Amino acid sequence: MKKSVLLIAWSLVSSVTIAQQNPVEMDSTQTQTLDEVLVRSVRVKPNAPITHSNLSKQELQCRNLGQDIPVLLNYLPSVVSSSDAGAGIGYTYLRVRGSDATRVNVTINGIPYNDAESQGTFWVNLGDFASSVENIQLQRGVGTSTNGSAAFGASLNILTDAISQKAGGQIANSFGSYNTRKHSLKFTTGLLNDHFEFAGRLSKIYSDGYVDRASTDMKSYFLQGNYVDTNTLIKALMFGGKEKTYQAWYGLSKDELEEDRTQNPYTYDNETDNYWQDHYQLHWNETLNSNWSTNIGLNYTRGKGYFEQYKTERSAEDYNNLIVDDSDVIVRRWLDNHFYVANANATYQKNGIEINSGISYSDYTNDHYGELIWGSDLVAGTSIRDRYYLSASNKTDFSIFSKATFRMSESLQGFLDIQGRFVNYSTTGLTSNRVPIDIDKRYNFFNPKLGLTYTFNSNNSVYASYARANKEPNRNDFESNAEAVQSESLNDFELGWRHQGKRFSLNANMYYMSYKNQLVLTGALDNVGEYLRENVDNSYRLGLELDVRVAISDQIALNSNLALSQNKIKALTIDRDGRLQNLGTTNIALSPNVITTHAIEYAPNSQFRAALIGKYVGEQYLSNTDTEASKLEGYFVGDFNLNYELPLNRIFKSIVFSGMINNIFDLEYVDRGYTYLDTWSGSTVSEVQGYYPQATRNFLVGMTLIF
C-alpha cells in the first residue's frame, strides 16, 4: 500500500514538472486561490448541499485572547464547548449535535489532526493556534469526504495563515481573571523577489484556571516558508508546542459542588499532564492548465508525554510486583507516538463540472507504558523508572475518493461523492490495569454521498443530501469491551434552505441521522478521564437548525441561531445488578434538545465593534437511562466583547484593544459531568456522579501592536 501511495504521488509530481514548461497566466488573486487548494478535498463551496458554517480570521481574532479553539467556536449552531479548568484554557472540549470530539473529524490543511488511536482532539497541544488560522469551516453531519477517521457529528476543516504580500508583524498581549495571560509575537517577510515568504509565531499562555490547582502552561510555535509562482504554491510548515496542565478531570461530587465549587480533589504537587507535539507539513499545489490542478500533502507528527499521579495503599499486583502491598506510589503513564500522512488529489474543472479525486494514507504507531517514579516500600531489586505495563499499537488508514459537482440545468446542481476507506488496527501487551490487550482488526468501509442544490434566484436556494459513514471503534472501546465492540454506521439526511439578502440572511436546515451500532457515551469515565462508550443497536438524532443575520442598520446587526433536536436510543437494554432491563426509548447522554445563541453587534465604523452575546443550552442527561438524578439543568450565559483599532502613523500601523467579559450575569453552572448510574450496583447517587463547574464572571483584556 505504501508503494502505491508513492507511485501516485510521483505521477502527480511528474505532471507538475511537465506543466511548469508551459506556465499558465494568472491574475493577482491566484495566491489566495492556490492557498484554498490545500483544503479543496475536504471543504465545500457555499452552494454545496452540505450543512456548514465558515469563520474568517477577522471573526476569530475578535475573541482570540487566549482561550482555545473549541471556546472560540462556541457560538456556532449546535455547538457546545467546555473545559476541565472552567475558564476555557487547557483541556477544552467541543460537541456538535450532541457528538463529542471523537466524532468530529478535524483536519489542518487537509491533514488529519484527531489522534488516530483514541480519535479525540487535544487542543491543549496547540496553544494559541487560532492566531495562525486563516479560516475555519465547520460541516455539521457527515459532510463531504475527509481524510482520517469518519465524521459522525461534524467535520472541522482548518486552513492556516495565507501568504502575506507585505512584510509586517504583531505583538499581542492579554491578561485576565485567574492570572491568565497570553503573549505572542508574529512576523512575515512578505513576498521576497515576488516568490518567497517566511512567517512565524511564538506564543506562551498561562492560566491558574477557575478550579483550584487547574493551571495550564502552554508554549507553542508556528513557522512556515512559502514559494509562489504563476501556477505553483509550495508551503513548508512546522508547528507545535509543549504543555503542562494540572489534572482537573475528576470533577466534583454533588456535595463537593455545593460546599466549594472551585475545589480540586487532586492535592499532590505534581499531579500534572506533560506533553509535547511537533507537526511537519509539506504541501505542493500546482495549476497545470485552465482545467487541471493538483495538490500533494505530506505530514509527520511526533508526540510524546506523560501524566504523573500519586496513589496511596496500592496492590503489588497492580504494579507488576515492583512494590509491597499497601504501598504508596508515584507513577508516570507515557504515550510515545509517530504519525505519517501522505495525501494526493487532482481537480478537473470544465463547463460547470468539477471533479476532485484523491487518496490519503496514514501510519500511526504508539507505545503506551507506565513507569514507577517513587514508592514508599519497593521490592528489593526494583529501580526507579521500572515499567509496570507496556503495549504497542499500530494503525494504518488508506482512503480513496472521488467527488463531482455538475450542473444538471441552469438552476439545478448535483453533487456525488464516493469514498472507500480501509483501516488496520493492532495492539499487543498490557493495559494500564495490567489486563492483556491483543487486538488485530481490519475494516473496509464504503461511504457514498450525494445531493442536489436548486437555485431559485440570486438570493434563494434549497438543497437536499444523503451521506453514509462508517466508523471503527477506538482503543478505549477495545479496552473496555474488546470481545463485543462493533464498528458503527450512520445514514445522514439533510434538507436546507439558504437566503442571502442585503439586510437579511437565513440558513435553515433539518437533519435526520440514523445510526446502527452507535457507540454512545455511557456517562462513565475510564481511569484517565475519557468517557466510556458502548454500542446501541438503533438510535437517531433528529433536528432543526436556524442561523439568521439581520442588519437593522449600517451600524447594528442581530445574529441568532437555534438548534432543536431529539436524540434517542430506540430500545435501550442495560445490565443493572446482574439483571437485563429493557428501558424502551431513552435520551442519548450529553445531548441537549435546545441550543441557541443570540448576539447584537454595534459597529459604527471599521475601527470599533461591540457585541453582547447570550447562549442557552437546554437540560441534558449524563446517562442514557433518563434517570432524574443524572439530569443537568439548562443554563444561559451572557458574554460581552469589545474591539477598537487605533490607526497610527509612526512605528506601528495600528494598536488593537480587545476585551471580553464572560458570564456577565455571574451564573454558577455546570455544563458537563459523568455518572455510573447505567451500571449502578446499589451505590448512592452522590458516590457515582461528578460535575465540572464552569467559571463565574471573569474577564480578558488585550492589546495588539501591528507593524
- The mean pLDDT of 596-623, rounded to a whole number, is 96
**pLDDT above 70 for 3:** no
Confidence of residue 64 (pLDDT cuts 50, 70, 90): very high
Instruction: Let me know: does 133 contact 57? Beta carbons within 8 Å.
Output: yes
Instruction: Let me know: does 391 contact 368? Beta carbons within 8 Å.
Output: yes
Q: Phi, psi at residue 683, to the nearest 5°?
A: -70, 155
Q: Is 1 helix (H, G, I), strand (E, B) or coil?
A: coil
Neighbours of 601 (CB within 10 A): 19
- CB within 8 A of 267, min separation 6: which ones? 213
**pLDDT above 70 for 38:** no
Q: Quote the cell numbers at residue 539.
A: 438510535
**pLDDT above 60 for 685:** no
The pLDDT value recorded for residue 21 is: 36
CA distance 126 to 123: 5
CA distance 230 to 20: 10
CA distance 154 to 134: 20
CA distance 160 to 563: 29
**Residue position matching grid coordinates 508546542:** 241
**pLDDT above 90 for 583:** no
Higher pLDDT, 178 or 525: 178
**DSSP secondary structure code for residue 516 in this structure:** E
CA distance 449 to 446: 10
CA distance 101 to 120: 5
Range of weakest confidence among 142-146, 163-167, 561-565, 683-687: 683-687
- The mean pLDDT of 466-494, rounded to a whole number, is 92
The pLDDT value recorded for residue 582 is: 85
- The mean pLDDT of 214-233, rounded to a whole number, is 96
- CB within 8 A of 578, min separation 6: which ones? none
- The mean pLDDT of 266-274, rounded to a whole number, is 95
Query: In the CATH hierarchy, which top-level class contains the domain 2-706?
Result: mainly beta
Neighbours of 87 (CB within 10 A): 28
Confidence of residue 363 (pLDDT cuts 50, 70, 90): very high
**pLDDT above 60 for 20:** no
**DSSP secondary structure code for residue 209 in this structure:** -
Pairing status of strand 488-500 against strand 504-525: antiparallel
Confidence of residue 31 (pLDDT cuts 50, 70, 90): low
Q: Quote the cell numbers at residue 183.
A: 503573549
Which is nearest to 122 in space by CA: 389, 303, 251?
Answer: 303
**DSSP secondary structure code for residue 102 in this structure:** G
Q: Quote the cell numbers at residue 695.
A: 467559571
Instruction: Let me know: does 517 contact 539? Beta carbons within 8 Å.
Output: no
Q: Is 15 helix (H, G, I), strand (E, B) or coil?
A: helix
The pLDDT value recorded for residue 564 is: 98
The pLDDT value recorded for residue 370 is: 97
CA distance 231 to 290: 10
Percentage of the chain modeled with pLDDT above 90: 84
Instruction: Let me know: does 197 contact 164? Beta carbons within 8 Å.
Output: yes
**DSSP secondary structure code for residue 99 in this structure:** B
**pLDDT above 50 for 278:** yes
**pLDDT above 90 for 146:** no
Q: Phi, psi at residue 528, to the nearest 5°?
A: -125, 20
Q: Is 400 helix (H, G, I), strand (E, B) or coil?
A: strand
Residue type, 298: L
Which is nearest to 488 in space by CA: 95, 102, 98, 79?
Answer: 102
Neighbours of 270 (CB within 10 A): 15
**pLDDT above 60 for 29:** no
Q: Quote the cell numbers at residue 537.
A: 443497536
- The mean pLDDT of 454-468, rounded to a whole number, is 97
**pLDDT above 60 for 607:** yes
pLDDT digits (tens, 9 = 90+) for 167-195: 999 999 999 999 999 999 999 999 999 99
**Residue position matching grid coordinates 495565507:** 162
Neighbours of 614 (CB within 10 A): 17
**Residue position matching grid coordinates 487537509:** 110
Gap between the terminal Cα atoms of the chain:
49
Higher pLDDT, 75 or 5: 75
Range of weakest confidence among 164-168, 266-270, 627-631: 627-631
Range of weakest confidence among 456-470, 526-540, 657-671: 526-540
Higher pLDDT, 633 or 525: 633
Q: Phi, psi at residue 74, to the nearest 5°?
A: -60, -25
Count of alpha carbons within 13 Å of 259, Cβ hemisphere only?
Answer: 8
Which residues does residue 545 pair with via DSSP β-bridges, in sequence order? 509, 563
**pLDDT above 50 for 23:** no
Q: Phi, psi at residue 552, to the nearest 5°?
A: -65, -35
Confidence of residue 577 (pLDDT cuts 50, 70, 90): low
- CB within 8 A of 128, min separation 6: which ones? 66, 182, 184, 201, 203, 205, 218, 220
The pLDDT value recorded for residue 484 is: 86
- The mean pLDDT of 590-618, rounded to a whole number, is 97
* C-alpha separations of 300 from 221, 363, 396 in Å: 16, 10, 14
Burial zone of 582 (CB within 10 Å; 0-12 exposed, 13-18 middle, 19+ buried): exposed
Which residues does residue 412 pair with via DSSP β-bridges, in sequence order? 454
Which is nearest to 180 in space by CA: 314, 252, 85, 304?
Answer: 85
- The mean pLDDT of 510-523, rounded to a whole number, is 94
Which is nearest to 627 in space by CA: 592, 584, 677, 669?
Answer: 677
- CB within 8 A of 242, min separation 6: which ones? 218, 219, 220, 275, 276, 277
**pLDDT above 80 for 475:** yes
Which sign does the torsion angle of CA 350, 351, 352, 353 carry?
A: negative
Q: What torsion do the CA atoms of 114, 120, 123, 124 make, to the nearest 10 degrees? A: -130
Concatenating the DSSP letter of every residue in 54-96 gives EEEHHHHHTS-SS--HHHHTTTSTTEEEEESSSSSSSSEEEEE
Confidence of residue 42 (pLDDT cuts 50, 70, 90): confident
Counting every residue written for the chain, the total comes to 707
Which is nearest to 88 in space by CA: 176, 262, 209?
Answer: 209
**pLDDT above 80 for 527:** no
The pLDDT value recorded for residue 480 is: 84
Task: Give the pTM.
Answer: 0.92
* C-alpha separations of 487 from 127, 150, 474, 626 in Å: 33, 11, 9, 25
Pairing status of strand 168-176 against strand 439-455: unpaired
Instruction: Let me know: does 662 contact 695? Beta carbons within 8 Å.
Output: yes
**pLDDT above 90 for 580:** no
Mean pLDDT score of the chain: 91
